[in-house]
Amino acid sequence: MPALTSQQRWLLCVTLCVTQAFWDNYKDLKDWEKVIGNIDKGEQKIQRQADIMNMIAAKLEKYKNPWQEMKVRALQAPKLHAHA
33-80 pLDDT, tens digit per residue, is 999 999 999 999 999 999 999 999 999 999 999 888 988 888 877 777
pLDDT single digits (tens) 10-39: 999 999 999 999 999 999 999 999 999 999
- Least Cα distance to 57 among 70, 39, 73 occurs for 70
DSSP secondary structure string for all residues of 24-83: HHGGGSTTHHHHHHHHHHHHHHHHHHHHHHHHHHHHHHT-SSHHHH---PPPPPPPPPPP
For residue 7, the 8-state DSSP code is H
Alpha-carbon distance 5 to 3, whole Å?
7
